[in-house]
Structure 1
């Protein structure tokens, strides 16, 4: 299983790690941690040296209740960081975490390689068409509503069945426009209760029916730290446990804050296979 990034085929038969780099002051774990170009470069270098295949840049926090950011502000936040990173590390595969088509287009035109859309094209009617025109890998996530309303919409009769139906419809829409490389993200923590997150993780392997790469992003999320009655800062051990389970369930990409530990999970799991 491969995806095409800037003309290079990335083989996902061995799972890869996507390191998270937030260009936001208010993300739930590392918001405001990186304030200068050197901060971003140091963290990028650290993640790349630890084995990250992708770096995921986000300039609009999707946590519940996060402040609204204009499209212009999101672009102004993200483009300078893309330029700084690619000047120092030109081979870096940057993923852009945005649900806005214009932000995605500007980022790809300035050297990014992947679009990571939490809304699967439902929050911007131009997103799927833009992704198709750009011909870059497109990560589509399951979510209901938007970041401000999603937690009030966590009602399901059968969450796995409904997530599968959602992806069936969104993949069909993306394919119809000519998007070739599609990656599925079940959206842990988005419009899901703690119990629903674990039910979905137990049955994540059902998504193999699509025969598409699967991205799992559970790093330090509330499904871990609330269950363990701790904090995001103390949720690394729980993250490692769930990343290991995600690999057993068929994950091809782990999206994480802690690259070294995720790479170690993959190395151990590969040895067992």
Structure 2
């Protein structure tokens, strides 16, 4: 698919005073009456939603299918469980499988919806980890969680088919690929064959080089086009759109301004017709803007970004600070909707 000539971003609102003519976003909590029309090299326009082409209208308003047993009609929180010695914010904390299982169990007790287990650091500058080393990190964690009685969804954060296969055999049931299924050509066919839901993320280049002067013609539209192309590739491989989540990849081959541009217009990505995941937790731009040099001090800024994303109707938040985020989301929903939910 070539780049679109026009892109339609719903101007999402949340609250009890909803006009009869308002359209619901993706079967969720947001609604809109107008859209921002974007194009490469064109002045933006604000138009009534009734100008939308029929196919765009369908993608924006159709309720999203459940993912790994989770309904997408309310915000979902994915807990980050890094079984790594070198991740940017929590490297080493859960490197031992027993520690990772204890941390994951604590996240579940706090109300997290699913866990994302990763064994390969994708921090800027990180080198590619050997397959066997990655398997040795993640499989004991997943096995330990299942042995402890965890029935929640477990995502495997990997770029490699062999790692996904071992993780699924251990009990994982979703694959989250930060390369957007560009690293290992065997991963998409494997996921299709296992009927697995997947998350496709945008990244510019490999973690080892992605922050070396990243450039775009238009970061918002370039990221959208990449995700649309990869979703079409996944569909061709046998993974229906109903089993796909998309992630714009905050911090992966993007400057601070690139990140802010994406965050300000996140609702554009509803046009992909899939649930949207945001993974901005503890990223460097939060520390820079929020004056928090240490990653572990960035929970307030991370939560601020997460709540802003919910005003765009984003369905899933990938976070480190699980109890704090869950509390914030519950109060955001109660305050915005005017009732306990």
Q: Please, what TM-score do these two structures have when normalized by structure 2?
A: 0.76
Q: Which residue of 2 aligns with 1:33?
A: 93
| Partner Cα separation in structure 2 for residue 66 and residue 176 of structure 1 | 31
Q: Which residue of 2 aligns with 1:241?
A: 304
| Partner Cα separation in structure 2 for residue 2 and residue 52 of structure 1 | 20
2:216/2:222 contact within 8 Å kept: yes
1:3/1:137 contact within 8 Å kept: no
Could you list the per-position Cα deviations for residues 42-81 of structure 1 after superposition, in whole angstroms to 9, with x for gaps in the alignment?
Answer: 2112100111111110000000122432001111111111
Whichever structure has more helix as a proportion of its residues is 1
Superposition misfits of 4+ residues, deviation over 3 angstroms: 35-38
**Secondary structure at the residue paired with 2:92?**
coil
1:140/1:182 contact within 8 Å kept: yes
Give the deviation of 1:113 after TM superposition: 1.0
1:214/1:252 contact within 8 Å kept: yes
| Partner Cα separation in structure 2 for residue 36 and residue 107 of structure 1 | 17
**Secondary structure at the residue paired with 2:214?**
coil
Closer, same or farther in 2 for the Cα pair 1:228/1:175, shift >3 Å? same
Q: Which residue of 1 aligns with 2:326?
A: 263
| Partner Cα separation in structure 2 for residue 90 and residue 18 of structure 1 | 15
**Secondary structure at the residue paired with 1:152?**
coil
Q: What are structure 1's unaligned runs of at least 5 residues?
A: none
Closer, same or farther in 2 for the Cα pair 1:179/1:153, shift >3 Å? farther
Give the deviation of 1:153 after TM superposition: 5.3
Q: Which residue of 1 aligns with 2:70?
A: 10
| Partner Cα separation in structure 2 for residue 153 and residue 128 of structure 1 | 29
Counterparts of 1:77-96 in structure 2, within 5 Å, are 77-96=137-156
Comparing 58-67 and 22-31, the one that deviates more: 58-67
1:144/1:153 contact within 8 Å kept: no
Give the deviation of 1:99 after TM superposition: 0.5
Q: Which residue of 2 aligns with 1:195?
A: 257
**Secondary structure at the residue paired with 1:57?**
strand
CA RMSD of aligned residues (A): 1.3
> Which protein is bigger by CA-based radius of gyration?
2
Closer, same or farther in 2 for the Cα pair 1:64/1:139, shift >3 Å? same
Does structure 1 residue 179 correspond to structure 2 residue 239? Answer: yes
Does structure 1 residue 105 correspond to structure 2 residue 165? Answer: yes
1:65/1:147 contact within 8 Å kept: yes
**Secondary structure at the residue paired with 2:126?**
coil
Give the deviation of 1:109 after TM superposition: 2.0
**Secondary structure at the residue paired with 2:211?**
helix
Does structure 1 residue 253 correspond to structure 2 residue 316? Answer: yes
2:250/2:280 contact within 8 Å kept: yes
Give the deviation of 1:102 after TM superposition: 1.1
Give the deviation of 1:41 after TM superposition: 2.4
**Secondary structure at the residue paired with 1:130?**
helix
| Partner Cα separation in structure 2 for residue 153 and residue 103 of structure 1 | 30
1:26/1:61 contact within 8 Å kept: yes
Match of 2:274 among 206, 209, 212: 212
| Partner Cα separation in structure 1 for residue 182 and residue 67 of structure 2 | 24
| Partner Cα separation in structure 1 for residue 201 and residue 67 of structure 2 | 19
Does structure 1 residue 62 correspond to structure 2 residue 127? Answer: no
